[in-house]
Structure 1
């Protein structure tokens, strides 16, 4: 998918210290996925065009490269500045096919496609699945969730703000496909929460 934009903002807003900043963000992302439910905060962020969050721009500048295929939801793909910033700063390829994507970035969660519409990997190569980066309103203030599974001692309580109700049914189905399935990063302005496919979510009061 080729995006054209003449806006100069696509050339600005990258890391101030690309090597150091990328190493720092990489450690934070790995920590979030290794310890599901932990709130991992970011600093030294990128400054991408809105509505792409600086946390998401930082993850992209760290994990995406010329071999990476990205799927953007319509709210982002229609924005030439966002698409141009991502391709300029990461050299990644945009794809219209969600199932082909290594990473997917979703800003409009009410229109979140089924997790099954993204690559699930295979029994032999479960790592060949899509990692979804979901932009949420905040890491606190939402419905209380209880997480359990590998990397969690007993139960972790989190309350990310902005997840739609249909996400939870999707997540239960995603876990049932293990070892296949998608991994998710919940990205808010202040940081991220990792949801690897092994994490089980119980709704508060359910």
Structure 2
């Protein structure tokens, strides 16, 4: 897959989605939600920061949903390339304008990635997993799912989980779980995931073991 190059044309500028109303406070609020989601895998977090862009039916970033857009705004900056799996010139323009984030042309170049169509998720080997010396130089990937509940049940174990917990996201291809398990031997390298749906998200850090039923 390739991305559309983001060009800030007059049309895009005219339709540019508003960013955070209070950038410092809103960024901190979203960041805390993201940290908590990774610290407690399997729990569902809610992005409560208001973003007019995500609540307006005509907004350029409505497609991404509040959780994905707000998270990328809070995390991305000029030093963190963002890769959009599905071309979205308006979303790219908003990220570049509000966060100053460059748009990566390949998944492996990305510090953050957004996959709007989970069925079109590229093989996980396409993303950076870091190195043993610098495991933090890996991608954090946001994947939009149909729902965070109602799918096939899965059991999570690992740090942040007392014994085990069950999740049932709907819409992820089954190969996702197999490919993710194949990354486990490379720890501390790996990929941290967020599953997003509307204003809700769930963290899935590289340290979490997932058992399919």
TM-score where L is the length of structure 1: 0.91
Q: 1:28, 1:82 → 2: CA distance?
A: 22
Gap runs ≥5 in structure 1: none
State how many pairs are aligned: 200
Q: Alpha-carbon deviation of 1:2?
A: 3.6
SS of the residue aligned with 1:93? Answer: coil
Residue 13 of structure 1 and its aligned partner are, at CA, apart by 2.7
Show the 5 A alignment for 1:128-167: 128-167=137-176
Which residue of 181, 186, 192 maps to 2:201? 192
Report if aligned partners of 2:5, 2:89 keep a CA contact under 8 Å in 1.
no
Q: Does 1:9 align with 2:15?
A: yes
In structure 2, distance between residues paired with 1:39 and 1:27: 13
Report the counterpart of residue 34 of structure 1 in structure 2: 39
Query: Aligned pair in 2 of structure 1 residues 45, 32: CA closer, same or farther (>3 Å)?
Result: same
Does the Cα contact within 8 Å between 1:69 and 1:93 map onto a contact in 2? Answer: yes
Match of 1:93 in 2: 102
Instruction: State the match for 2:74 in structure 1.
Output: 62
Q: What is the CA–CA distance in structure 1 between the aligned matches of 2:89 and 2:73, rounded to whole Å? A: 18
Does structure 2 retain, via aligned residues, the 8 Å contact 1:138–1:190? no
3-state SS of 1:52 partner? coil
CA deviation after TM superposition for structure 1 residue 176, in Å:
2.5
Q: Provide the residue aligned with 1:103 in structure 2.
A: 112
Runs of 4+ in 1 over 3 A off after TM superposition: none
- Which residue of structure 1 lines up, in the alignment, with residue 212 of structure 2? 203
Structural RMSD (CA): 1.4
Look up the match of 1:22: 27
CA distances 1:11-54 after superposition (whole Å, capped 9, x unpaired): x3311222111111100100011111111111124325232111
Residue segments in structure 2 that go unaligned for 5+ positions in a row: 55-60
Q: Helix, strand or coil: the match of 2:15?
A: helix
Greater displacement, 13-22 / 23-32:
13-22
| Contact 2:145-2:195 within 8 A present in 1 as well | yes
8 Å Cα contact 2:65-2:199 kept in structure 1: no
Q: Which residue of 2 aligns with 1:71?
A: 83
